[in-house]
Structure 1
């Protein structure tokens, strides 16, 4: 039995203010697991609320959802699903019985709000920035034991990329995929597409991101030095990209994708949202005659989470270069300051 009685956790008290607090450890129920949480990466959703751009999510926000740790104790009903010492990554909480959950669409659960007060009457959020926490066993995915904690935290973002991969249906060894945007989610899409057999080209403006993309083994287009559309046509012998993934939420990128996709049976994945909302200028005749697919994707299914955990565990997707820096929990305010700087990759908060 664990002797942990209190937990220490990071939370957003208000715009621009991240603090650390202690509270009693919740009681372990029969279907739950006590996790010694080791690392939680700061997602765009997290730092945008810190910046005041997502205040509708509510304060105090005990957020963080790209989290991983070690099983310390389990309830009597968990049985052999998890064993003490297993490394796990956290999945959103969900009810398991609504229509969405019955189809595996757990990020659209009708009864558990994604960042609601599911674990506390006082705090919103998943308590990803807590050093210990008690969670339902169904809200965890097992990963390889020696996978570094910060890398294991990528199960959640990679799961949304996996859903995108399933929608764009890559033809291994044949398709050229262009990713517009070399941020964390852009390069995750690039890595997954390459693992699935595509030729991958990343178009980006920032020198730092171009360098990381090149180090990860992708062809690159420096969009500040050359016309990306013309370069894609050059690199594909005039054909254009089979698939374009728009991983930045801006109108210019959407319209650029229309110009660089091939003239027949091409696909454009609108992976990223943007605020204010981006637009896309295309008439229905063009979609009709090009047989063009405009693909929307959001969220993850349980299968996507499982596939993401397997891909990371097997080393098919390497996210080591997407971790900018590690910061201890006591310095969580500094961590949010670093994570919100333009061009940053993931900042990982070390919890123990």
Structure 2
């Protein structure tokens, strides 16, 4: 079958998501034509739709949490074949210094803000077909639902942070926030055989955390600092993952970790930018670590695929039941941006 055009969705401006048609890129020897099945709407995506991330630029043909099926492969592709189920990693050239060092997430030639010849930014995740480099695709378990396979990228960013946090089995980890990324972090920490405590305010998210088997603190009813101390014999947590982007959570993390050598992972961004209200002497005398994390490298994508493909991380409860067709992209953004939503899937090849 010859595919000459791709139908795609893009953000024209704040609050305005449209669809268009363009010529599909030519395939090179190392490229793969992917029939894209699903792309989930990330916080980054609907944040721009809400007007909170306009620095990303327009028109934005975004979407980076996607999965699909290989339709055709170039002559130089050896590890993928038509019919394989895949999910999308970051674009990377494989040639720059960062890529050669295994830091593909810092690739200097793969900026999503770069304009295509027809004037779009982004990676065309919300499109029915796309041509992608084979090096930026990861094989997925065909039994995994496409909406769950599309969690490859968010879980890869979590794997990056968990690696930097240096978790050890039996450590106590507190995750602030039971949103999508909070619960993905919680599951990844649990897969490291850690004790995981989740703090949250919203009832829907509290219930999701309970359904996943985590110890849960409802901060509308209990002081999280006092409760964590109670649950840890007054010691505090070995590590805290801040999975919500606000000043209170950033500051509270220092009260949740143990007195000496506690580690805090600053996972979440926030717009407008949150602050950290923390005396630097506290960091100094308590030998506290503040660890930043962002993005992922290919080793993190492969680890994420292993966790998803084997069921070690189960994201089935993090996909909203209502899904949207590509033509309904505006409604999809409206739904995804409702407070408390988990991932909303856009179906890319269904009528």
TM-score over 0.5 for the pair: yes
- CA deviation after TM superposition for structure 1 residue 313, in Å: 0.6
- CA deviation after TM superposition for structure 1 residue 107, in Å: 2.2
Cross-structure match for 2:277 = 281
Rounded to whole Å, the distance in 2 between the matches of 1:6 and 1:163 is 35
Rounded to whole Å, the distance in 1 between the matches of 2:176 and 2:55 is 29
Cross-structure match for 2:68 = 69
- CA deviation after TM superposition for structure 1 residue 139, in Å: 1.2
The answer to whether the 8 A contact 1:182-1:213 is kept is: yes
- CA deviation after TM superposition for structure 1 residue 116, in Å: 2.4
Gaps of 5+ in 2: none
Task: String of CA shifts for 1:241-261, please: whole Å, max 9, x gaps.
Answer: 111111111111111111111
Query: Does residue 127 of structure 2 align to residue 130 of structure 1?
Result: yes
The answer to whether the 8 A contact 2:242-2:265 is kept is: yes
Rounded to whole Å, the distance in 2 between the matches of 1:122 and 1:280 is 38
Cross-structure match for 1:109 = 107
Query: Does residue 305 of structure 2 align to residue 346 of structure 1?
Result: no
- CA deviation after TM superposition for structure 1 residue 170, in Å: 1.4
Query: Does residue 219 of structure 2 align to residue 220 of structure 1?
Result: no
Cross-structure match for 2:262 = 266
**TM-score when normalising by structure 1:** 0.96
Picking from 298, 302, 308, the partner of 2:298 is 302
Query: Does residue 237 of structure 2 align to residue 241 of structure 1?
Result: yes
Rounded to whole Å, the distance in 2 between the matches of 1:239 and 1:289 is 17
Runs of 4+ more than 4 Å apart: none
SS in 2 for 1:13: strand
Picking from 143, 147, 150, the partner of 2:147 is 150
SS in 1 for 2:253: helix
- CA deviation after TM superposition for structure 1 residue 55, in Å: 1.8
Rounded to whole Å, the distance in 2 between the matches of 1:165 and 1:114 is 25
SS in 2 for 1:179: strand
Gaps of 5+ in 1: none
The answer to whether the 8 A contact 1:39-1:153 is kept is: yes
The answer to whether the 8 A contact 2:199-2:217 is kept is: yes
- CA deviation after TM superposition for structure 1 residue 120, in Å: 4.4
Query: Does residue 136 of structure 2 align to residue 139 of structure 1?
Result: yes
Query: Does residue 40 of structure 2 align to residue 41 of structure 1?
Result: yes
**TM-score when normalising by structure 2:** 0.96
Aligned residues: 348
